[in-house]
Structure 1
Amino acid sequence: MARTRVPNARLRALLEETEWTQGGFARAVNTVAAEAGLTLRYDRTTVAHWLVGSHPMPRVQPLACEALSRRCGRLITAEEAGFAGVAEQVPVVGGKLASGGANGLVGLLHELSGSVPYRPARTRPASRVTATRVTEVQSTRNPATLFFTRILQAQGGGFARGTLRTYLAEALAGQLRGARGEIRRERYAEASQLALVLGRMYADDLRNGEAQHCYLAARELAITAGNRELTVIALRTLSAQAYGLGHLRIADEAARAAVEAARNTPRAVRAFAQAQLAVTAASRGERGEALRALAMAEEGVGGAAAGRHPFESYARADFEFQRGEALMALRRAEEAVPAFEYALAARTPEDRRGAALTRLRLADVLLPLGRVDETRALERELAEQGDGLRSVAVVRRREALRRSLLRFGGGRNAAGGRDAS
């Protein structure tokens, strides 16, 4: 006998509260899914089925709840949305790692499965970060961080992520247990660094919910370690992620918190924070502030990253990329071109991922300017030098670039063009 479906009165009430149409809710779920690395093509008919008693797949339930939570301004659970087989809401990391130590780290890694939504959330105020009891400890020079960072740069985020997770869960978590004094600070600092690298690996595969959890964990681990530098880096990374996903206000708040926390830190750390503030300030139309932040950041920029520990220097290539982003936010595309070109030229041969992403961003700028031949040359370079990268971000953007180039015929410079990405 067929199961009788019960209309979902709870979901209908939430849609009335949000003043969303069924199509509007479907589009919002698709957007949250895209941030988590999933491609959904839901429309109003999907939501209509939910309203009459069917339920989203388990992996989609937390995404639908996240869309509702953003609209309502409060946490909406699967139960409150009327979904059967209630999906677990993955808790936002915050504070539990400091007290949970090794168990908290293992618990975090266990949570990074299934569909983990990205959750826009205000960053802890700068006053609370700087008020945290920290010591001026230099970033731990551990070989594991350097190894996994180089793997990410050379092969992409999908190459050794499982290996890093295993190392964190089995080797490093065990070292956190029972550690005391200076050894304890060093181990927590190492865990913070590796959580940041793991987050970047997830982000490279467009799994932004998992990446966000890693970045938040890295911040808590850095605070526990008493390491101001790593606290700044985690805040800045959260800002860059929010900016890339279009959450500009949150990105700007996190960038300002990073700059505030970066006082009395090494020049490279201050530069790292200021370069991100330049981008978010530019996105708000604050031209003067953006240019001042760029000038302050450039004072702490080093040369090539080859041979340097990734948490102790700010490479010229990375800074020039940020300069290009800030100029693009200021709508100065012609001036952004040489910045991205400089960034590409400054990439080390080992940084294949960075070079691929820089070529793609440069192509984004050149094509709307009508510089089609140069864009085609970049696409050929991507095929020659970027093949084999295990990076969903690179693959999807290359596909978008190819679609854009298909609009043009013989390859001569066109009068204009629109970016498809």
Structure 2
Amino acid sequence: MARPVTNAAFEGLLLAAGYANAHAAFARQLNHAGRDQGTWRYDAASVYWWLRGRRPGEHVQAAMAETLTRKLDRSVAVTELGFGALDSVGASVYPASVDGAIDTAEQIWTRLAKHLHPQVSGAFDSGKALNAALSWRYDLPDEAVSRNGRQQVTPTDVQSLYALADHFTDLDRRHGSGSPHTRAVMADFLARQVAPMLHGTYTEAVGRDLMRAVATLCGQLAFMSYDAGDHATAQQHVTVALRLAKAAGDRLYGAHLLANLATQAVHLGHSRDAARLAEAAIDGARRAPAAVLARLHATAATAYAQSGERRGSQLALARAERALDRAGAVPGPGWVTYFSRAHLAGAALRCLGDLQLYSQALDHVPDALALASENTRTRALHTALVAVTHARAGDTDAACNWGRTLAQHASGIQSARVQQRVRELVTTLSPQQTSHEVNEVLRSLATMPRAA
């Protein structure tokens, strides 16, 4: 039995334009109108679902209005289509359904690809982040994600997405994400190639893996936006990635994404909400592999330290260290292999510095810098942290030495996070800029590249 039409406005426009019994013809015209967006494959089934409440992306709605304008010989506004305002787009709202997640993903990818996102977003919403954590943790699992569309999606197609995610992750770690070009290229690929896959035909098993792969790509794009300082865009993407991970049934990757939200919250100074997000990630991960737990507890430690909760931070660091000691016996998922003893040492250096335990913090310096060669940005971040810790501890000579090393390590890296660490060092050293050595270091730091 056909479901009742819920979008009477759209139905009326189709009727007036002569498409009441020609949904396939309308879809063909729509595909033609959207040809500059890539290869659209909408069909009569797509129209069926639009009439029954599914909301297409704003770029699709614009093409619908264009198609109906030509047919009716009058201007048709997007607002006449009956899909409602796109209030949730850009608002980091956790989608209630898989279809909602797919539609939202397509919209935010298109916006980023076309540079339609705000140039200075900055608006991280802790409340929505916490609501997303609750929904991810306690909403019922999705019973089915299989779909019948026009494009057949195979396991090989999905594996290619994982390879692409690895490629962008490597670029990000080596060069930073300050340039909008890389993110726009990635978003354009997602909008043109991956969105049609999500709307395609796949079995339950392939569908779950597809959701996991797309969550990985979306999560990487979120992290890149965070590194570039585009915090609203980062939160939008990580929220959608969290919903896709839920659809995939991958609670471990969902916990990882939630920890990324916590890390972003720490970066922006929302320490108490960051601690709640980190604890929600730990709770949701449950009996996770040791490597995953090490990363999650390290994130919680940084949130507690920023809040000044010494005991909570030190307990979390101890749990992270014990977990990492066990990690070799039971390897975790591939995406957590980056978290090494150097990363944990960097977290300890930051935590103990925030707690003003500078001598203990500096004990972690050798381990924090024992990074793999591809971790170029992390090396710059840790080096800056070492310099700042020395400066705050009152050792200006050591701070200057590390400041000179930082100027070398950060050359060619575009990262808002690295820039923030540099600003922290400059702020701490500036009262002593009458010193020739300090002034020389400040000048060298001033020549470092900035994120676009």
Q: Is the TM value for this pair above 0.5?
A: yes
1:371 shift after superposition:
1.6
Q: 1:123 to 1:386 in 2, by over 3 A?
A: same
User: Per-residue displacement from partner, 1:269-307 (whole Å, max 9, x unpaired)?
Assistant: 12211111222233444433332322221233368xxxx
1:300 maps onto 2:323 in alignment = yes
2:186 counterpart (158, 164, 167): 164
1:319 shift after superposition:
1.2
Alpha-carbon contact 1:157-1:201 (below 8 Å) kept: yes
User: 2:237, 2:403 → 1: CA distance?
Assistant: 32
Amino acid at match of 1:262: A
2:235 counterpart (212, 226, 232): 212
User: 1:201, 1:177 → 2: CA distance?
Assistant: 25
Q: 1:198 to 1:91 in 2, by over 3 A?
A: same
Q: 1:167 to 1:243 in 2, by over 3 A?
A: same
Size of the aligned set, in residue pairs, is 318
1:397 shift after superposition:
3.7
Q: 1:126 to 1:403 in 2, by over 3 A?
A: closer
1:289 counterpart (312, 315, 318): 312
1:349 shift after superposition:
1.6
Alpha-carbon contact 1:268-1:313 (below 8 Å) kept: no
* Gap runs ≥5 in structure 1: 1-86, 413-421
1:360 counterpart (374, 384, 390): 384
User: 1:193, 1:297 → 2: CA distance?
Assistant: 24
Q: 1:189 to 1:401 in 2, by over 3 A?
A: same
1:191 corresponds in structure 2 to 214
The secondary structure found in structure 1 opposite 2:364 is helix
User: 1:164, 1:273 → 2: CA distance?
Assistant: 27
1:119 maps onto 2:125 in alignment = yes
The secondary structure found in structure 2 opposite 1:123 is helix
1:234 maps onto 2:234 in alignment = no
1:105 corresponds in structure 2 to 105
Alpha-carbon contact 1:283-1:330 (below 8 Å) kept: yes
The secondary structure found in structure 1 opposite 2:315 is helix
Q: 1:328 to 1:399 in 2, by over 3 A?
A: closer
Alpha-carbon contact 1:192-1:222 (below 8 Å) kept: yes
User: Per-residue displacement from partner, 1:135-193 (whole Å, max 9, x unpaired)?
Assistant: 9xxx9892122111110111111352222212222222222223331111111111111
1:246 counterpart (266, 269, 280): 269
TM-score, structure 2 normalization: 0.64
Q: 1:212 to 1:228 in 2, by over 3 A?
A: same
Q: 1:337 to 1:373 in 2, by over 3 A?
A: same
Amino acid at match of 1:123: L
Q: 1:324 to 1:385 in 2, by over 3 A?
A: closer
1:402 shift after superposition:
4.2
Alpha-carbon contact 1:300-1:314 (below 8 Å) kept: no
Alpha-carbon contact 2:89-2:104 (below 8 Å) kept: no
Amino acid at match of 1:153: R
User: 1:143, 1:187 → 2: CA distance?
Assistant: 13
User: 2:310, 2:424 → 1: CA distance?
Assistant: 30
The secondary structure found in structure 1 opposite 2:90 is coil
Q: 1:169 to 1:312 in 2, by over 3 A?
A: farther
1:133 counterpart (137, 141, 146): 141
User: Per-residue displacement from partner, 1:61-106 (whole Å, max 9, x unpaired)?
Assistant: xxxxxxxxxxxxxxxxxxxxxxxxxx99832231156223543211
User: 2:168, 2:204 → 1: CA distance?
Assistant: 27
Aligned residues: percent identity? 25
User: 2:398, 2:417 → 1: CA distance?
Assistant: 22
The secondary structure found in structure 1 opposite 2:141 is coil
1:151 counterpart (160, 166, 171): 171
**Runs of at least 4 residues of structure 1 off by over 6 A?**
none
User: Per-residue displacement from partner, 1:209-229 (whole Å, max 9, x unpaired)?
Assistant: 111111111111111111011
Amino acid at match of 1:378: W
Name which of structure 1's ranges 166-175 and 139-148 shifts more when overlaid on structure 2. Answer: 139-148
2:282 corresponds in structure 1 to 259
Alpha-carbon contact 1:96-1:104 (below 8 Å) kept: no
Alpha-carbon contact 1:228-1:261 (below 8 Å) kept: yes
Alpha-carbon contact 1:196-1:214 (below 8 Å) kept: yes
Amino acid at match of 1:191: V
Alpha-carbon contact 1:277-1:293 (below 8 Å) kept: yes
Q: 1:383 to 1:338 in 2, by over 3 A?
A: same
Alpha-carbon contact 2:392-2:428 (below 8 Å) kept: no
User: 1:131, 1:88 → 2: CA distance?
Assistant: 19
2:357 counterpart (323, 328, 332): 332
User: Per-residue displacement from partner, 1:319-353 (whole Å, max 9, x unpaired)?
Assistant: 11112222233331221122244212x21122111
Q: RMSD of the TM alignment (CA)?
A: 2.9
1:351 corresponds in structure 2 to 375
The secondary structure found in structure 2 opposite 1:299 is helix
Aligned pairs (5 A) from 1:372-383:
372-383=396-407
TM-score, structure 1 normalization: 0.68
1:269 maps onto 2:289 in alignment = no
Q: 1:88 to 1:261 in 2, by over 3 A?
A: closer
Amino acid at match of 2:189: Y
User: Per-residue displacement from partner, 1:1-22 (whole Å, max 9, x unpaired)?
Assistant: xxxxxxxxxxxxxxxxxxxxxx
Alpha-carbon contact 1:372-1:411 (below 8 Å) kept: no
Amino acid at match of 1:331: Q
The secondary structure found in structure 1 opposite 2:382 is helix
Structure whose CA Rg is larger: 2
User: 2:228, 2:247 → 1: CA distance?
Assistant: 29
2:20 corresponds in structure 1 to none
User: Per-residue displacement from partner, 1:9-58 (whole Å, max 9, x unpaired)?
Assistant: xxxxxxxxxxxxxxxxxxxxxxxxxxxxxxxxxxxxxxxxxxxxxxxxxx
The secondary structure found in structure 1 opposite 2:335 is coil
User: 1:274, 1:404 → 2: CA distance?
Assistant: 29
Name which of structure 1's ranges 287-296 and 368-377 shifts more when overlaid on structure 2. Answer: 287-296
Amino acid at match of 2:194: L
User: 2:189, 2:257 → 1: CA distance?
Assistant: 20
Q: 1:163 to 1:349 in 2, by over 3 A?
A: same
2:154 corresponds in structure 1 to none
1:64 corresponds in structure 2 to none
